[in-house]
Structure 1
Amino acid sequence: MYLQAWIKRWLIVAWIGLLMIAICSGGFLWNDHLQGQREDSGYVINRARLQVSEIMHYLEQHGQEIANSVEVRDALLNMSKESQVSFIYTGLDGRVLFNASSDTELQQIDVKTGLHYDLYQARMDQDHFRIAFPVVAGAAQAQTQVGNAIFMLPVEDVFVPKTNGALYLLLATIVVIVMILCISLLLLTRKIKQDVLIPVHQLKDYSEAILKGNYEPKATYDEMNEFGEVHTMFEQMRMEIQHLSRRREEQEQAQKELITNISHDLKTPLATLKAYIEAMREGVCPDMDTVMEYARVMYSNTEKMARLTDDLLLHALKELGQISVTLKERYSKELLESILQPIAHYVRTTGVHFIEPTDIPNVLIHVDGHRLEQVVSNLISNALKHTEPGDTISVNTELEQGKLKITIADTGRGILPQDMPFVFERYFQGKTDRGSGTEGSGLGLSICKYIIEAHHGTIFFRSIEGQGTTFYCLIPL
């Protein structure tokens, strides 16, 4: 992934930079250690002795004359000014015999604590040393110490200044590494802002829009990396939510239309029943044949109201998850014959040809007989709505791959191609080729699908516009 690889490369650069800084810091420490070892060597004292050799030589020759000779003291003062070296000359008892330093009040020095011949014990502060040298006089065979010279020397006169190219190289390396890390950090900050923070804020705005019910803004991202994939999935989610929202609105509208349609469909047969009953009460029927004709019309309207109320009840039970399907072992032949016989008589009375199965397989199936009857009745009633007198409705049964296959076919108008994906949707009422809605509530096929699936079976159809429709129900044995 792009961002993951980019951050990984940046981390590698950062770790390499930190490692090099650690190595350079170790080089500094090692150099200080070596410098300390060099400073401990004896040649440092010898360099300090060379700095004061002229004064020491003069003291060895004239040190005993300092107390009585003004010329000697003046010569020592001139030598101190010329060499810019301050010093004190003391006797062996620590009494100050000559003072060429700024400390004019010093009269006595403790020879046990005030004389320092060691370099580091003689260090007074960061910039100066107080180093003592013994002053000896006499012939080479009989030299004796006559006093001590205490010199105040600056550090640069004691230590040789070192110009270490390696240290400069280490320092330059550290500076370059720090600059590289700073630039990398700035690039990382910019990258995080552009590729992480801005897309996250955009997704936040898109989410707020969705929460407010605005599904139109699209989550777009130019690059196909991690956030590109997130935006793609978010866009798919937005489209799915938008689709579900539209479907919900359509269903709510369909529910309202369902109530309106059922109210209208119930009102018409009720008005017909009322009119015929009032006619019979008023004695309009002159003979028994007219009474029977009125009774048939009343029965037909009663059947229509019963179907509507049954569909509405089953739909309500389905919404509540309370359509009870009690599976029992039943033999298919006896059950289907009892279901098809009354339906066949009713279909033939409408002028539509009805073809019953010639041979029903007599197999044992787990089925709810009442619910299966509702499925078959709904499918045949649905076929009647799309057929006209002279058309044919046929039922066939056979065994297929361990299942009982029930086929209900008609030679009616068929289903329009644009309606096929929504046939099993609740409230959906297909349109005929003339554009008018078909009679019904739009619940029958949805209920059939629910019942068949409760039997662990499947239901599907094939249809050709103008040639008819065939429904298939598969029930496990």
Structure 2
Amino acid sequence: MLQPRYLSVVLSFFISGVTTAFISFLPSSDLTILVISFISCFIFGSILIYFALDYLVFQEVNQLYDRIKQIKKKDFSITPRKQLVEKTNPIELLKKELNTYVTSKEDEVFELKKAAKYRQEFLADVSHELKTPIFAAQGFVHTLLDNPDEDVEIRSKFLEKAAKSLDGLDNLVQDLLTVSQIETGAIKIEKKKMNLRALVEEIFEQVEAKARKRGVTLTLEAPAIPVYVKADMLRISQVILNLVVNGIKYGKENGSVTVLLTEKKKVVQISVIDNGPGIASEHLHRIFERFYRIDKSRAKNSGGTGLGLSIVKHIVQAHNGKITVHSAENKGTTFEFKLEKA
């Protein structure tokens, strides 16, 4: 491929020759005029053509070539999208489109890296969560196998502990399946008219024993009449039950958990409020992540799988809603989401 300087010389030579040939037909032309015309056209033509080719074509094309090489090397560190401006030059437009394409690929690579990191963390968390109950059950069972003549009472105690570990493992697997099925759409949300007030009262009855054990007062603040919403009763029951149980388990002893139903124009807002120790600000943006625990030792003792709030988030999202949390240390916690009025 010719360089700009050589190409400009060749083009200027032909242009000068053609120009001189036309001037030679003029009656007043002589050899001196023809030579001066040729040399002038050649010099100025070379300079103009060189700068035109170099600055308007070759440099732009070379930049495009450099960007293509960056794509091949998977190096997406080029001009940010915000620095791109509209151009009328077709080469500049081509550069803009290429920059936009590469920037979009950069975003895709970032998301893929983020997803890969998330998968690694998820696999590590799952492995850890599965390992604990499995090892516990194995330990109890192998102890019994190694001591077949052990006292009946001790054997029963070991079997009960092994069964408890396996029950915890079953709960974990069921929660994982639920999250996966909601994410992939395998679980269909069937919205029907339901009485939200009656559902909360039923949930309070289910958790009454747990609340009494910790001295927690359960309160429903809602209109005296039925509060109807359009939702999947089974799934919304999971959401409210999970939030109320969390308030009982992680709130303070002799505290309170309140479910507040607020009717608005087109929706009903559900708020689950406790007066517990609250959640520090650095944890708030992560509490809906799978297996994320604020106090891991305390959560382990409570017997949770670490998937409850993740399931809550996915169920609310499947109802085209969003769950939010408001909390501060020593000031309690409030979870809020909205459902469509029926």
Structure-1-length-normalised TM-score: 0.52
Q: Distance in 2 between matches of 1:420 and 1:169?
A: 86
1:284 to 142, 153, 157: 153
> Match for residue 255 of structure 1?
122
Secondary structure at the aligned position of 1:458 is classed as coil
> Match for residue 357 of structure 1?
220
Q: Distance in 1 between matches of 2:310 and 2:58?
A: 50
CA displacement at 1:454 relative to structure 2: 1.8
Q: Distance in 2 between matches of 1:475 and 1:328?
A: 12
CA displacement at 1:196 relative to structure 2: 1.9
Distance 1:438 1:346, change over 3 A: closer
**Does residue 218 of structure 1 match 2:82?**
no
Secondary structure at the aligned position of 2:153 is classed as coil
- Counterpart of 1:357, as a letter, is L
> Match for residue 474 of structure 1?
338
Cα pair 2:269 2:336 within 8 Å, conserved: yes
Q: Distance in 1 between matches of 2:222 and 2:159?
A: 36
Q: For residues 28-177 of structure 1, what are the structure 2 equivalents within 5 Å?
A: 164-165=28-29, 176-177=40-41
Distance 1:269 1:462, change over 3 A: farther
Structure-2-length-normalised TM-score: 0.69
Secondary structure at the aligned position of 1:457 is classed as coil
Structure with the larger helix share: 2
Q: Distance in 1 between matches of 2:264 and 2:58?
A: 61
- Counterpart of 1:218, as a letter, is S
- Counterpart of 2:221, as a letter, is T
Q: Distance in 1 between matches of 2:176 and 2:103?
A: 35
Q: Distance in 2 between matches of 1:397 and 1:300?
A: 36
CA displacement at 1:176 relative to structure 2: 4.2
Deviations 1:219-275 (A, max 9, x none): 369x97666867875775466345324422322222222322331343377579979
1:314 to 178, 189, 209: 178
Cα pair 1:394 1:409 within 8 Å, conserved: yes
Q: Distance in 1 between matches of 2:242 and 2:191?
A: 20
Q: Distance in 1 between matches of 2:323 and 2:203?
A: 18
Structure 2 gap segments, 5+ residues each: 1-14
- Counterpart of 1:402, as a letter, is K
Cα pair 1:455 1:475 within 8 Å, conserved: yes
Q: For residues 450-469 of structure 1, what are the structure 2 equivalents within 5 Å?
A: 450-469=314-333
Structure 1 gap segments, 5+ residues each: 1-17, 32-162, 286-290
Cα pair 2:274 2:334 within 8 Å, conserved: yes
- Counterpart of 2:254, as a letter, is G
Cα pair 1:356 1:394 within 8 Å, conserved: yes
Q: Distance in 1 between matches of 2:54 and 2:311?
A: 59
CA displacement at 1:476 relative to structure 2: 1.0
Secondary structure at the aligned position of 2:221 is classed as coil
Q: Distance in 2 between matches of 1:375 and 1:192?
A: 63
Choose 465-474 or 165-174, whichever is displaced more. 165-174
**Does residue 366 of structure 1 match 2:230?**
yes
Q: For residues 181-192 of structure 1, what are the structure 2 equivalents within 5 Å?
A: 181-192=45-56
Q: Distance in 2 between matches of 1:260 and 1:306?
A: 14
**Does residue 328 of structure 1 match 2:192?**
yes
Secondary structure at the aligned position of 1:261 is classed as helix
Q: Distance in 1 between matches of 2:159 and 2:328?
A: 38
> Match for residue 449 of structure 1?
313
> Match for residue 244 of structure 1?
111
> Match for residue 398 of structure 1?
262
Q: For residues 378-393 of structure 1, what are the structure 2 equivalents within 5 Å?
A: 378-384=242-248, 386-393=250-257
Distance 1:391 1:202, change over 3 A: farther
> Match for residue 267 of structure 1?
134
Cα pair 1:404 1:476 within 8 Å, conserved: yes
> Match for residue 73 of structure 2?
209
Secondary structure at the aligned position of 2:186 is classed as coil
- Counterpart of 1:248, as a letter, is A
Distance 1:231 1:202, change over 3 A: same
Q: Distance in 1 between matches of 2:69 and 2:305?
A: 42
Q: Distance in 2 between matches of 1:393 and 1:401?
A: 26
> Match for residue 197 of structure 1?
61
CA displacement at 1:322 relative to structure 2: 0.5
Deviations 1:362-401 (A, max 9, x none): 2332111111111112223444553343343322111134
Distance 1:364 1:319, change over 3 A: closer
Distance 1:224 1:404, change over 3 A: closer
| Number of residues of Structure 1 aligned to a counterpart in Structure 2 | 306
CA displacement at 1:465 relative to structure 2: 3.1
CA displacement at 1:352 relative to structure 2: 5.0
- Counterpart of 1:368, as a letter, is D
- Counterpart of 2:153, as a letter, is V
CA displacement at 1:164 relative to structure 2: 0.7
Choose 375-384 or 234-243, whichever is displaced more. 234-243
CA displacement at 1:406 relative to structure 2: 0.9
Cα pair 2:316 2:323 within 8 Å, conserved: yes
